[in-house]
Structure 1
Amino acid sequence: MTILDWLQDYTIQNVVIGAALLGLISGVLGSFAVLRKQSLLGDTLSHAALPGVCIGFLIAGTRNIGSILFGALVSGALAALLMLALTRNSRLKTDAGLGITLSTFFALGVVLLTYIQGTNNAAQGGLDSFLFGQAAATLRSDLWIMGGITVAALGLVSLLWKEFKLVSFDPSYAASLGLPVVWLEVLLTVMIALAVVVGLQMVGVVLMAAMIIAPAVAARQWSHRLEGMVLLAAAIGVGGGVFGALLSALSRGLATGPLIILSVSSVVIVSLLFAPGRGFVWEIVRLRRSRRRLRYQQVLTTLYQLAAAHADSRYRSGQGMIDTYHGTSTQRALRKLHRRGYVVRHAAPPEEPNTAGQWVLTPAGIHEAERILDSLGREAL
C-alpha cells in the first residue's frame, strides 16, 4: 500500500479526524479544569459516563452511537451536578466530592454493563469497548456527531470567554461583578462532560481523564497567559491525537486510544523537563547558577570585610586563609571575580613560596562588595 492509498483509507481517515476533534476539545476545555484546580474532574466525568452508555444501549436496544453518547452526556452532567451539590452544600472538600461521585457512578456502570452482558441481546457485542475505546469502529456518522459537539463547545467558550476567564482565576471577584458564578461553573463542568462524550469512542472511559488534563498541563509549562495556554493546549491535543492515530495505523495491532494518550503524555514529560522557567532541567540550571553567584558574592564580601578589619583597602588576603574561612576551595569563585575585574592576584611572598598567592580588591570590587552588603542590609530591614 502506497502512502496515498494509506491516507485515503476510510478507517484511517475516520480515526485521524476523530483524534483531532478529541484533541481540540480536550485541550481547550481541559485548560479551564486545570486552572480551576479540578484535574480530577475529567477522571470523575469520564467514569461517570459509563452508566449513561449502558442506559443509552438499554433504551435503544442496539449499539446506536447517538443514543449511547446522549446517555453518556446526561450521566456525566448528572455526576457534575451531584459533585457541585456535594461540595457546595456540605462540608466535603472538592476532592472528596469528586471521589464519591466517581466511585458511585462507575460502580453503577459496571453493574449495568454486567447485567447487559448477562442478557441474550446479540447487539451487546463491543459495548465493553467503551471502557478502553475502539477507534477503528468510528464511522463517518460518528464524526458528524463528534464534530457538532466540538463546534458547540468551542462556540460557547468563544461567546463566554471573559466570563469563564474570570470564574477560573477569581470566582469571588466575578461574583462581586454580578456574574452568575454557580451557573458558569455548572456550564463549564457540563462542557467538560461534552469533551468526555467526544472521547468515549476514541480512548474510552478509563483513559479519557488523561486526555482532558495532559494537553493543558503541558501547555501550562510554556505559557503565562490563558489565551496562549488554551491555543497551545489545543495544538498539543490535536498533534498528539493525530500522531497517536497515525502510529496505530502504521503499527497494525496496537490500540489507538493508549497510543494517543502516550503521545500526549510524552509532550507533558518533555514540557515538565525542558519548559523555560518552569521545567525541571531549567530549575536545576537556575539553582546551580544561583549557588555559584552566591558563592562568589560571599567570597567578595569576605575580602571586603577582611580589608575593613585591617583598615587597609589594599589588604592582601591569602588563598589558604580564604579557603579556611569558607571551609572549601574558593579558587573558582576567585577566578570569576578576577575575570570581572573585582580582584587582582599577587604572587606568594618569598617567605611563603608554597602558598597559593594573595588576593586584593580593586576599586570596582570594593564598590560591588559595598553594593551587595547594602542590599543585604535593606533586606534585613
Structure 2
Amino acid sequence: MLADLLAALSFQAGYNTRIVLIGAVLLGTAAGLVGTFTLLRGRALVSDALGHATLPGVVLAFIAGSALGLSSRNLPLLLAGAAASGALAVWLVHLLSHHTRLTEDTAIAAVLGSSFGLGVVLLSVAQRLPTGGQAGLGTFILGQTAGMTEGEVWTMAGLAALAILASVALFKEFRLICFDPDFARGIGWPVQRLDLLLLALVVVVTVAGLQTVGLVLVVAFLVIPPVAARFWSDRLDRILLLAGLFGGVSGAVGAALSAALPGLPTGAVIVLVAGTLFLLSLLFAPRRGVVATLLRQGSMGFRLAVVKALSDRRRGPAAPVSGTVALWLRARGLTTRDGALTPRGEAAAERADRNLALWERLTRTDPNAIPDTALWGIDDATRVLPQATLARLREGTAR
C-alpha cells in the first residue's frame, strides 16, 4: 500500500491517476481560496444549498439531452445544468433574504430542502426513461473519479483554475466586503454585485467538484480547509495560502489513497484527509490550538500564583502555597528552606507589589487603556504600558 501511495503522489502510477491527481489538487486549492472568502463573508451555508441545488439541474440536463438524442455522458451539458440550477438557487436565496422577512439561514434551508427534494423526484423520473435509466447520475451525489474520462478531468481542472485566478484577481475587493462591507458601500463599491460574484465562484467550484467529491460533500471541501487555516494565522493573505495548501494537500493525498486502495471512494477520502488536517490544526496550532491554549493558561496560572506568593510573604506570615510554586521559589533563590524570603526574594516581592499596584490603579481609573494582549497582574506594567500612562499611574500611586 505504501509503495502504491508514494507512486501515486510522485505521479508514477499511470497517466489516468496523474491527471486525476492534478485535477484534485487544483480543485482543493480553489475550494480553499473561495471557501475562505465565503466563510469570512458569513456565507458558508450557501455552499451547502448550492451543492444540493445542482442535483435537479444535472437531472434536467440529462433528460433534455436524452430527448435531443445526445450521449448520457455529455459532461458539459450536465455541468451546464448544474451551474444553471446552482445560479438559480443563489438568486432565490438572495431574493428571499433581501426582499422578504425571512432570515438568510431560513432562506438557505428552504432552497436546500426543496432543491434536493426536486432532484430526487427527477431522478426517479429519469430512471424510468427508455434511454438507460439514470446512466450514472447517482455518482454526482457522492462523487466517483474512477469512471471519469480524460476530458472530464481536464474540464474539472479548468473550472478550478478559473476559480483560483478569479480569487487572486479579486483579492482586494473580496477582502474589503468581508471585513467592512459598510465602508465599501459608502465609497460606492457594488457590494451586492461582488457578493453575487463570490457566490458565482462558489457555483464554479461546486460544479467542478461534483464528480470528485459529490454534491453532498462539496460543502465540506469548501469549509474545512479555511477553518483549519484560521487556527494558524490572523492575516488574510496567510490564511488564503494555508487554506489553498490544505485543500490541495487534501485533494492530492485523498486521490492518492483512493488510487492505492481502489475500494475507497475518492470524495469521502479527500474530505476525511481535510478533516484530519482540521483536527491537527485544532489541537496543535501554535497560538489557537487546544494544546497551546492549555499550556498558556497553565503558565499564566502558575505565574500568577508565584506573584501572589511573593506578595503574601512580604506582607505577613507565609501563606501555604502549592508544592510546585514552593519548589520553584526555592530553586530560584527567592525563599529559604523554611519558606522565608531571601534578600533577592524581598526585592522580587517589592517589584511584584509595585506592578500589582500599577495594574490595580489602571483597572479602576481607565480599564479601556489595558492592551488587548496584556496579562493583567502578570506582565511587567513598565514594559507593556505607554510611558505617559505609567507616569500618570505612578503619580496617583504616590498620592
TM-score in terms of structure 1 length:
0.87
Which amino acid is the alignment partner of residue 210 of structure 2? L
Which amino acid is the alignment partner of residue 359 of structure 2? S
State the distance in 2 between where 1:155 and 1:330 align.
Answer: 58
Deviation at 1:169, TM superposition (A): 1.1
Which amino acid is the alignment partner of residue 269 of structure 1? L
Which amino acid is the alignment partner of residue 180 of structure 2? D
Q: What corresponds to 2:39 in structure 1? A: 34
Cα deviation digits, residues 348-372 of structure 1 (max 9, x gap)? xxxxxxxxx5446512321222212
User: For structure 1, which segment, 47-56 or 366-375, has the greater mean C-alpha deviation from structure 2 after superposition?
Assistant: 366-375
Q: What corresponds to 1:257 in structure 2? A: 267
Is the CA contact (8 Å cut-off) linking 2:21 and 2:256 kept in structure 1?
A: yes
Cα deviation digits, residues 91-114 of structure 1 (max 9, x gap)? 322222211111111111111111
State the distance in 1 between where 2:176 and 2:215 align.
Answer: 30
State the distance in 2 between where 1:20 and 1:266 align.
Answer: 17
RMSD between superposed Cα atoms in Å: 2.1
| Aligned pairs (5 A) from 1:1-381 | 3=7, 7-61=12-66, 62-122=72-132, 124-306=134-316, 317-318=317-318, 322-323=319-320, 329-341=321-333, 343-345=334-336, 347=338, 357-359=339-341, 361-381=345-365
User: For structure 1, which segment, 45-54 or 158-167, has the greater mean C-alpha deviation from structure 2 after superposition?
Assistant: 158-167
The percent of aligned pairs where both chains have the same amino acid is 35
Is the CA contact (8 Å cut-off) linking 1:11 and 1:136 kept in structure 2?
A: no
Q: What corresponds to 1:309 in structure 2? A: none
Cα deviation digits, residues 181-211 of structure 1 (max 9, x gap)? 0000001011101100010011111111111
Cα deviation digits, residues 32-74 of structure 1 (max 9, x gap)? 1111122212211111111111111112122311011111111
Deviation at 1:339, TM superposition (A): 4.2
State the distance in 2 between where 1:194 and 1:6 align.
Answer: 26
* Greater Cα radius of gyration, structure 1 or 2: 1
Is the CA contact (8 Å cut-off) linking 2:311 and 2:349 kept in structure 1?
A: no
Aligned residues: 353
Is the CA contact (8 Å cut-off) linking 2:123 and 2:134 kept in structure 1?
A: no
State the distance in 2 between where 1:56 and 1:280 align.
Answer: 47
Is the CA contact (8 Å cut-off) linking 1:44 and 1:99 kept in structure 2?
A: yes
Deviation at 1:123, TM superposition (A): 6.0
- Label 1:123 to 1:117 Cα distance change in 2 as closer, same or farther (>3 A): closer
State the distance in 2 between where 1:63 and 1:283 align.
Answer: 51
State the distance in 2 between where 1:92 and 1:293 align.
Answer: 51
Deviation at 1:86, TM superposition (A): 1.5
State the distance in 2 between where 1:374 and 1:150 align.
Answer: 57
Cα deviation digits, residues 142-173 of structure 1 (max 9, x gap)? 12322332232223223322111101111111
- Label 1:374 to 1:11 Cα distance change in 2 as closer, same or farther (>3 A): same
- List runs of 5+ in structure 2 lacking aligned partners: 67-71, 366-399
State the distance in 1 between where 2:11 and 2:38 align.
Answer: 37
- Label 1:252 to 1:6 Cα distance change in 2 as closer, same or farther (>3 A): farther
Deviation at 1:303, TM superposition (A): 2.2
- Label 1:334 to 1:376 Cα distance change in 2 as closer, same or farther (>3 A): farther
State the distance in 2 between where 1:177 and 1:338 align.
Answer: 63
Deviation at 1:283, TM superposition (A): 1.1
Which amino acid is the alignment partner of residue 355 of structure 2? R
Is the CA contact (8 Å cut-off) linking 2:221 and 2:271 kept in structure 1?
A: yes
Deviation at 1:8, TM superposition (A): 4.8
Cα deviation digits, residues 272-310 of structure 1 (max 9, x gap)? 11111111111111111111122122222222332xxxx
Q: What is the DSSP-based 3-state SS (H/G/I as helix, E as strand, rest coil) of the residue aligned with 2:336?
A: strand
Cα deviation digits, residues 105-144 of structure 1 (max 9, x gap)? 1111111111111222216321111111111112111123
- Label 1:346 to 1:137 Cα distance change in 2 as closer, same or farther (>3 A): closer
